[in-house]
Amino acid sequence: MKQKNWSVLLGAAFLMATSAVGPGFLTQTTVFTQQLAANFGFVILVSIILDIGVQLNVWRVIAVSERRAQDIANLVLPGLGAFISFLIVLGGLAFNIGNVGGAGLGFNVLLGISPETGAILAAAMAIAVFLVREAGKVMDLFAQVMGFLMILLIVYVAVTSAPPVGEAVAKTFLPEEVDVLAIVTLVGGTVGGYITFAGGHRLLDAGVKGKESLPQVTTSAVSGITVASVIRVFLFLAALGVVSKGLVLDAANPPASVFRLAAGEVGYKLFGVVMLSAAVTSVIGSAYTSVSFLKSFSGTILKYENWVIIGFILVSTAVFVTIGQPVRLLIVAGALNGLILPLTLAVILIAAYKPAIMGNYRHPPLLTVFGVLVVLVMAYLGGYTLLQQLPKLFN
C-alpha cells in the first residue's frame, strides 16, 4: 500500500508541476529575470507562499468532499460548475495549442525539423501515453521522468552560468524593487487555470480521498509546488548568471538564449530537450485535466475518457499545424484564465464551510485567510487584465 501510494502522490505532484512548467513558464521566468535581475528572487519567494496556500485549499476540499471541482461548484451554486468547466476547457484548449507549438520548437532545436512536423511528433508522444491500458500510471511515470530530467538539465545550465548567488539570496529577502504584476503572473502561471486541478483530480481518480487521506494530500500538494519552484529558481539563477554578465538575450526566444549563452551549442541542444519535456508534459496535463472537467456532464465522456483526451490533443495539434498560434484566442484565454483562479478558489472556500459538501470537516482558518487574500488580489488583477486585453481584440 505504502509503495503504491507514494507513486500516486508523486505522480499527482509531478503532473501538477510539469503542467505548470510549460513554454510560457520558461519564457516568463527568463523575461522577468532580465527585467528585475536579482530582485526577481523576492517575487519567486512570495509566489511560492501564495501557491502553497492556493493548492492546499483546493486539494484538501477536493479530497475531503470526494468530488471534482465542477461538482463542488454546482453544489455551491447550480450551473456554476458548467460555467467553470467551459472556462477551463477553453483555456486548456488555447494553452494546449501553445504547448504543442512549444514542443514543435523543442524538436526544431534538437533535430532541425520544422516546428509543425515537430508538433505532430510531440502529439504522437502524448497520445501514446493514453493508448496504454494503465494510462494513469504511465502518465504519472512520464511526468516524473520528464520532471527530473528538466531539473537536472536546468541545474547544469545554472551552475555553468555562474550566477551571483549571494546577491540573489540577499535580494530575495530584501529586494530593492517589488513588481506586483510579476507576482500575480507567476501565481497564475503556477496554480492558475486548470493547473492546480491537474493534481487534485489525479489524486481523486487514483482513489486518494476522504478525511483520512489529508496528510498524503498535503504532502503531494506541497511536493508539486516544490518541484515547480525548484525548476523556477534554477532557471532564474541560470538567467541571472547570463544577464549579470551584461549579455543580451535574444528577444525572439529568451530562454533559448540563456541556455546558449551559458553553455554554448551544447546548452542550446539542452534547451531543446527542456522545451520538449516542458511542452509535452503540459500537453498531457492540460488534456487530462480539461477532460476531467467534462466527465460529470456526460456518461459517454466518462466511459471513453482516454479517447476524448486523445481527441483534445488532436484538435490542438491540428489548429497549430494549420493556423499556427491563434493570437486572438490566446489573448482571450489568457485574460479569462486570470479569472479562473479567483472564481474557483472562492467556490472552494465557500464549499469548505458547507457541511452538506464537507461533512464534519473543519477547514484551517489560516488557509481560509490565505485563500481570501489570493481571491481578492487575483480578482482585482484578473479584472484589470481583462479590461486591458479586450480592446486588443478589436484592433
pLDDT tens string 226-282:
999 999 999 999 999 999 999 998 888 889 999 999 999 999 999 999 999 999 999
Confirm whether 264 is domain-assigned: yes
pLDDT at position 328:
67
Q: Which of 136-150, 190-204, 318-332 has the lowest mean pLDDT?
A: 318-332
Question: Residue 2: pLDDT above 60?
Answer: no
pLDDT at position 326:
60
Rounded Cα distance between 264 and 361, Å, is 55
Question: Residue 97: pLDDT above 70?
Answer: yes
Q: In percent, how much of the chain has pLDDT > 70?
A: 95
Confirm whether 333 is domain-assigned: yes
Q: For the chain, what is the domain count?
A: 1
pLDDT at position 188:
80
Average pLDDT score over residue span 62-77: 95
Confirm whether 84 is domain-assigned: yes
Confirm whether 143 is domain-assigned: yes
pLDDT at position 185:
80
Q: In terms of residue numbers, what domain contains 250? A: 6-393
Average pLDDT score over residue span 16-45: 91
pLDDT at position 335:
67
pLDDT at position 12:
92
Confirm whether 376 is domain-assigned: yes
Confirm whether 108 is domain-assigned: yes
Instruction: Name the residue with higher pLDDT: 189 or 306.
Output: 306
Confirm whether 1 is domain-assigned: no
Confirm whether 358 is domain-assigned: yes
Question: Residue 3: pLDDT above 60?
Answer: no
pLDDT at position 1:
45
CATH at residue 58: 1.20.1740.10
